[in-house]
Amino acid sequence: MSSSSAVLLSVDHLSPTPPEVRLLLICHAEGVQNRYSNLVQQIAPTADSGLTAFGWEQTSQLAHWLATHESIDVLYSAPLLQSRLTAQRIGQTLGLPVTIDDRIPGRFPPDLTLPAAWERSQRTIMHFDPPPVIAPESPYGIYLHSLIEEIEAIVQANWGKTVALVLSGNGVATTVRHFAGGHALSITVSHTAITELRRQDGLWTLVYANRREHLPVGTAPVQRQRMIATESADDGGEVAQDIAHVVATYARIPPQVGEHVNTQRRQRLQHLLRFAQLPKDISVLDVGAGIGDLSLLLAEEGAREVVGIDISPTMLEAAELMRLSSRSPAAARVSFRLAPAHALPFRDERFDAIICRLVLHHSHKPQLILNELARLLKHGGVLIVADLLSADDPVKRATQNAIEEKRNPSHVAVFSAEQYRKQIASAGLVIEAEQIATFERELDEWLDDMQTEPGARTVVREMIEAGLETDAAGLHARRQARTLVFDQRLFYVKAVKP
């Protein structure tokens, strides 16, 4: 054979010619319903749920792997919430818009069975009968036809491109069965696993299935956070360090199933909303959503849409558990996203109102956060800031910071009222109202909120007791019977974007 002769390959070898189209089928990340079986018993099996902490970690690992190993042209998602959140995280990392295709079906109903499945009692694989025709009106046939018809439309609209589609494991498995021409085989699909189908030389080829090298070995989630690409080069890595500290600190606090919220905590949130006086039927961003109780309260108070964002996967899992466990119809208007407050994946002027509660004290660069929130506000929109207020005395402020940091290692600094005013004005916002809110807190309850470790609890208690007579931290700490209490002061600001 001459050197110029073409090398003949069998149909099962990957051709060296460029593909006509590539289809990357990506299974969405782990959802709350996948983890909490008792929750599944309370709600419809096909209902939407957000992601677990592990699921958010999976999305980050997948997105970072795709950024370094793939070149994706267009990104689609099924309408299922798990799929949308996974796709949005990928799009956020790759800088791609996400097209939500409402016609792609989600999960199988729980009673759906595969047609012509082999008898479970038989051990043989010697089945050579031709596969049966799938009845289009059968439950499986309806699912199959609606799925393949929509994927066909996506492929035809993007011929010549690499298309990534995020959907359920049932969707991935059914697509593979369709291309294989047989529907008796059950196919296990792992969360965030990738399956590639490509058309090359006029033939469709399964290149790989259930690829998951982006995930760490083992099943336990790995708490890690990549440096955000939008950080400035001269910030000394402080933003990345702040994010890492928050993620690590709040990973220690396990999510709780149910909608139990401490009564005093709910009263504090309601106090803030009375100050805010937000109109009904608006779109609200809840920055630093935590366990999600403020987001749900905003929806109950009449917000048309509430998006809660947090950088802690553990907190987002807790928030989604609370949302799914809520009996309020307003919970359907709430969603949660993983994103850093200084670089949010939303278009300019996206929200009517933004609430930023107890976030700025976690950051070395609070101005970056406020500038970003100002970008997202519509003209005439309202920013509500509520954060820890320090004493004017710098010595007392330093003592307060030491106590706060011992209780919560992700704490950076408390600010004075004047510092908050300057930061908000520098973001181009006009202050309309402000208020100092003082809440009496029991020391043990305050420490319990963060599940502070025993050694740190002892140190915090000793620091507060040592300053009782001199009010060393400006907290007005005092004894009530056998209980230590102190004043937690928050500075409220209501500012408007001109």
* Dihedral sign for Cα atoms in the order 355, 360, 362, 368: positive
Q: Determine how many CB atoms are found less than 10 A away from the CB of residue 122.
A: 9
Highest mean pLDDT of the ranges 125-139, 204-218, 431-445 = 431-445
- The residue among 485, 497, 493 whose CA lies nearest residue 371 is 497
Residue recorded with tokens 């793939």: 70
CA distance 197 to 205: 6
Give the orientation angle of helix 366-376 with respect to helix 417-426, to 10 degrees.
Answer: 50
Q: How confident is the model at residue 482 (pLDDT cuts 50, 70, 90)?
A: confident
Residues 6+ apart with CB under 8 A from 4: none
Fill in the DSSP letter of residue 132: P
- The residue among 68, 43, 57 whose CA lies nearest residue 222 is 57
Q: What is the pTM of this model?
A: 0.84
pLDDT at 233 over 90: no
Tens of pLDDT along 238-280?
A: 999 999 999 999 998 876 654 456 788 999 999 999 999 999 9
Q: How confident is the model at residue 10 (pLDDT cuts 50, 70, 90)?
A: low
* Encoded tokens for 323: 């949302």
Q: How confident is the model at residue 116 (pLDDT cuts 50, 70, 90)?
A: confident
Side-chain-side CA neighbours of 71 within 13 Å: the count stands at 3
* Encoded tokens for 137: 């009106």
Contact (Cβ atoms closer than 8 angstroms) between residue 94 and residue 63: yes
Contact (Cβ atoms closer than 8 angstroms) between residue 450 and residue 397: no
| Torsion angle in degrees (nearest 10) through CA of 141, 144, 149, 152 | -150
Contact (Cβ atoms closer than 8 angstroms) between residue 310 and residue 319: yes
pLDDT at 13 over 80: no
pLDDT attached to residue 125? 85
Contact (Cβ atoms closer than 8 angstroms) between residue 485 and residue 441: yes
Q: What length is written for the chain?
A: 498
Who has greater pLDDT, 472 or 39? 472
Cα angle 25, 28, 29 (rounded to 5 degrees) comes to: 140
Written as one string, the DSSP assignment of 166-182 is EE-HHHHHHHHHHHHT-
Cα angle 17, 20, 22 (rounded to 5 degrees) comes to: 105
Give the orientation angle of helix 263-276 with respect to helix 293-300, to 10 degrees.
Answer: 50
Residues 6+ apart with CB under 8 A from 257: 36, 38, 39, 321, 325
Residue recorded with tokens 């109780």: 293
**What percentage of the chain reaches a pLDDT higher than 90?**
75
Fill in the DSSP letter of residue 302: T
* Encoded tokens for 205: 């080829």
By mean pLDDT, which of 6-15, 178-187, 465-474 is the weakest?
6-15
| Mean per-residue pLDDT of the chain | 89
